[in-house]
Structure 1
Amino acid sequence: MKKTRPILPALVLATLIATGAAQARDVTHAMGVTSVPDAPQRVVILTNEGTEALLDLGVTPIAAVRSTVGEPWYPHIADAMVEVTEIGAEDAPNLEAIAALEPDLILGIKVRHEGIYEQLSAMSPTVMADVFDGKWLENYQLYAEALGLEAEGEAGVKAFEERIAALKVALGDKVSEEISLVRFRGGGRTSLRAPDTFAGDILRRIGFARPAIQAALTDNQEITMERIPEMDGDRIFYFTRDSGDGEGLAVETEWTASPLWLGLGAVKAGAIHRVDDAVWNIAGGILAANLVLDDIAQAYGVEAPRQ
């Protein structure tokens, strides 16, 4: 009896090749290992830093959590987000809205979204970074891997590192300066910023030192006005969180008019720079990081060209 060749597997294989349905990869992340599509088309992002990562990688998400400030996006990403659906706050994303969008990949972060991971995973493959502070560039690479854009992610990291190297050369001996980071905020929450923060991490990558008091911090430290002398450094970058009620700006005005502030060495030398809180503190992604480098270059009067 003549044997016939099985045709069903061949048909199935042909169909899978034609549709791409068989293409998937395992991605290891903070919540385990997840099988994700090779080329996801409907991506939902649940962090502000992740939104910047996607845009930098050339991916426009179908939905994203709103920016911490902005209506609903940070000004520096607003133009790129015109067609993106806003799905609530980073710490409270709208699960019903996400489900209705039928995403094929969800990206989040354990420190924010561990409690809803199972619900998200039931909707779509979900990949999570671990934490924010000091890990933003590692998170960028994880998001790139989840998107199947490892090469683009490596190129993005390389471009940023090359820009830092160029800035370091341009700064010359000034890179040995001690940089103070200060944040003003309403409600008596003025703080010295720790090294393991977004801006602190960028300063470290450039090679700047921090004043000894700030270098020793393991977390941001709120201070009272009599501790203003602890803000001093060779140069001060400061930013203010204002929620629209004017309280943060009022605190900034009060503190920077204080005789203690006016007596700081950096203030007397004119080595103080007011920068954007959204960019230096809360956006937390690669687009903001490049804007931080722009600000530093401008403060020192040097060039830090983008690739």
Structure 2
Amino acid sequence: MKRPLALSLLLLLPVAAAQTLTLKHDEGTTTLKKDPQRIVVMDEEALGWLAALGLSERVVGLGSTYLSPTDITAGKLKPEVLKRGFYGRAKLNSPAYIGDWQTPNLETILALRPDMIVRLTWQGNQNYDKLSKIAPTVGYQEGAAGFWQKGLRDLARLFGRQTQAEQVIKQVADVNRANARKLLAAGAFKKYSKVVVVAPFAGGSNWLYTNVRLIPDLRALGFKDGLKLKESSLGVGAAISDEALLGLSKDTLVVLFPPGGKYNGAEDFLKTAVGQRLKGQSVVYLPEDFSPYSGPLVSVRNSNEVTRLILENIKP
């Protein structure tokens, strides 16, 4: 006896549901097939989540604001570029360059036939609708509390790597606890009970990070905020005046955390009157080449390297 078509379709529904997963993210709700093989990441933050899960070899397309034409050959990142900085740690497998978050090359992304697209996002970010027409797209807002943990956990569910995600999150917490004990034993908090993270940009503008970008790791180490702002831009921070910086107390550690590449203004900042005034209570923390601003792999490096810099600063 032939099974009625309607009954056959009904029996197939649970099977189809088991092969897909619906994710609620900061740009909407997206249903994806589980365990996608071809992934486009629009930025280094998204790359960091996949790298932490051991999935970076599936990245077929990478967006970045760091790359220049000299880093690209035949539409792909040069082999020597893939060995540098954060890309070297991520263990990429010759992805195509798809432009930056402002001007992604949609034709290139389409030609890559991705199974999914992952990106960092913020208020006013563009192209979500266009990207979603190419492949299921998920985005996580940088200014949201615990955004990288949520992104990591969501992707882990999609790839069946929940245990690994929890191990990664625990590792970040364990590293911060271990480094907090080192700082406490060395008397770091007696000299600096508070901290600010200042991003000096080339050209002379300075930015205070208040919610993301290194400051959460410093709070996890045991420091209190040395300066609070009433408002922030995109949930990240805001421009900071010279007057505000000059008003910082002596027990406030100033961590200069410049942006990468051509945007790095740390050296010029330290030559200014403000930089000279704060030099004795400042440390300069340089990110890796091509580094995300946040994420599990970055947090571990942040904690270890900043702890080392602080311990060197407080030596007699």
Structure 1-normalised TM-score? 0.76
Aligned length: 285
Residue 86 of structure 1 is aligned with which of 71, 77, 97? 97
Whole-Å separation in 1 of the counterparts to 2:142 and 2:290: 18
Correspondence for 2:216 among 183, 198, 201: 201
1:178 aligns with 2:194: yes
Whole-Å Cα distance in 2 between the matches of residues 132 and 83 of structure 1?
A: 30
Q: 1:38-57 residue pairs with structure 2 within 5 A? A: 38-57=34-53
Distance, in Å, in 1 between the alignment partners of 2:290 and 2:222 is 17
SS in 1 for 2:163: helix
**Rounded Cα–Cα distance in structure 2 between residues aligned with 1:141 and 1:218:** 29
1:163-220 Cα deviation digits (max 9, x unpaired): 22222223226357212322222233123x2321211122222321122xx2345433
- SS of the residue corresponding to residue 215 of structure 1 reads coil
Q: Are the counterparts in 2 of residues 186 and 251 from structure 1 also a CA contact under 8 Å?
A: yes
Question: Which structure would you say has the larger Rg?
Answer: 1
User: Residue 62 of structure 1: which of 60, 63, 69 is its match?
Assistant: 60
State the partner residue of 1:153: 165
Gap runs ≥5 in structure 2: 72-76
How far apart are 1:241 and its partner, in Å?
A: 3.8
Q: Secondary structure at the match of 2:114?
A: coil
In structure 2, the CA distance between the partners of 1:35 and 1:281, relative to structure 1 (3 Å rule), is closer
Q: Which residue of 1 aligns with 2:74?
A: none
Q: Residue 237 of structure 1 aligns with which residue?
A: 255
Give the counterpart letter for 1:210 in structure 2.
D
Question: 2:225 aligns to what SS in structure 1?
Answer: coil
TM-score, structure 2 as length reference: 0.74
CA distance in 1, matches of 2:60, 2:291: 25
* 2:262 partner amino acid: G
Q: Aligned partners of 2:107, 2:246: CA distance in 1, in Å?
A: 50
- Correspondences of 1:159-170 after superposition (within 5 Å): 159-170=171-182
1:28-65 Cα offsets, whole Å, 9 max, x none, are 22233222111111111113211111111100211121
- Deviates further, 56-65 or 160-169: 160-169
Among the aligned pairs, what percent are the same residue? 20
| C-alpha RMSD of matched pairs (Å) | 3.6
Opposite residue 66 of structure 2, the aligned amino acid is T
Alignment of 1:1-307 (within 5 A): 4=1, 6=3, 23-60=19-56, 61-68=59-66, 71=71, 75-79=84-88, 80-111=91-122, 115-132=126-143, 134=145, 135-172=147-184, 174-175=188-189, 177-191=193-207, 193-211=208-226, 214-216=227-229, 218-219=231-232, 220-225=237-242, 227-234=244-251, 235-241=253-259, 244=262, 248=265, 251-255=268-272, 258=273, 260-264=274-278, 267-268=279-280, 271-277=281-287, 283-301=293-311
